[in-house]
């Protein structure tokens, strides 16, 4: 692709950082904007920039600094646990502030990123905007319960992506808007829950990034609005 531009929102995280490196190594993009709360320095094709997905002004300012049509946007933000607050196992463990924090980072932030970055997608060619979701956000696939806030916030994100896909298609028929499940990745997010995960199912961030980019490369506009796992299989809401 000639003169293609990509953006990774959440480039300071394990998967986000690996996505930036994989995109740069692919040679398909002349510019990769790596956006995070603590921006990295510019290096070759990589352009660092500041963004905080819990601050809409920060999101808007980051989008306004990009004056080129975008070919790829990946929103790689989210939390599962924070400050010792672990996923709930029972209703009695529900806490309003924790639920609000999960929705803030897992759904509201990505939704606002969609609001400001989707209008930057190229109109005259294939373009993709994707967000990291999770298989446990599937209502139909829920067999074990628990993890109330994380499951609900990711299910809400999946609905946001579906709605956005319908809207984006009206002005950009070649575009895709999809949610992605990266599998279990060896990052701080999954670290407390890695016990019992078979070694061949615990991915390094670099491997996860390559899987996700391979999945995106194989999708066509008919796939917009759907959720896909790291192996290309569709996950149903």
Backbone angles phi, psi at 15, to 5 degrees: -70, -40
Query: Domain residues of the chain, as ranges?
Result: 5-235
Instruction: Specify the pTM.
Output: 0.95
Q: What pLDDT, on the 0 to 100 scale, is given for residue 201?
A: 82
Confidence of residue 161 (pLDDT cuts 50, 70, 90): very high
Work out the average pLDDT over 140-150.
97
Q: Which CATH class is domain 5-235?
A: alpha beta
20-36 pLDDT, tens digit per residue, is 999 999 999 999 999 99
Q: Is the pLDDT of residue 147 over 90?
A: yes
Residue 231 has pLDDT above 70, yes or no: yes
Average pLDDT score, the chain: 95
């Amino acid at each position: 692709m000639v003169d293609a531009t990509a953006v990774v929102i959440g480039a300071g995280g394990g998967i986000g950082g690996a996505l930036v490196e994989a995109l740069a190594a692919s040679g398909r993009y002349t510019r990769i904007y790596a956006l995070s709360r603590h921006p990295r320095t510019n290096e070759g094709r990589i352009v660092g920039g500041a963004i905080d997905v819990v601050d809409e002004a920060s999101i808007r300012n980051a989008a306004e600094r990009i004056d080129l049509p975008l070919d790829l946007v990946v929103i790689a933000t989210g939390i599962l646990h924070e400050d010792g607050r672990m996923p709930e196992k029972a209703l009695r463990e529900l806490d309003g502030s924790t639920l609000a924090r999960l929705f803030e980072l897992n759904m509201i932030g990505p939704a606002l990123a969609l609001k400001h970055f989707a209008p930057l997608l190229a109109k005259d060619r294939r373009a993709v905007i994707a967000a990291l979701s999770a298989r446990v956000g599937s209502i139909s696939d829920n067999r074990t319960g628990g993890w109330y806030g994380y499951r609900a916030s990711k299910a809400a994100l999946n609905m946001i992506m579906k709605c956005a896909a319908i809207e984006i298609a009206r002005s950009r028929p070649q575009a895709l808007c999809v949610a992605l499940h990266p599998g279990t990745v060896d990052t701080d997010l999954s670290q407390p829950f890695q016990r019992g995960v078979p070694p061949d199912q615990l991915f390094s961030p670099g491997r996860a990034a390559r899987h996700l980019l391979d999945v995106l490369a194989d999708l066509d506009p008919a796939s917009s609005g759907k959720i896909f796992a790291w192996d290309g299989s569709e996950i149903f809401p």
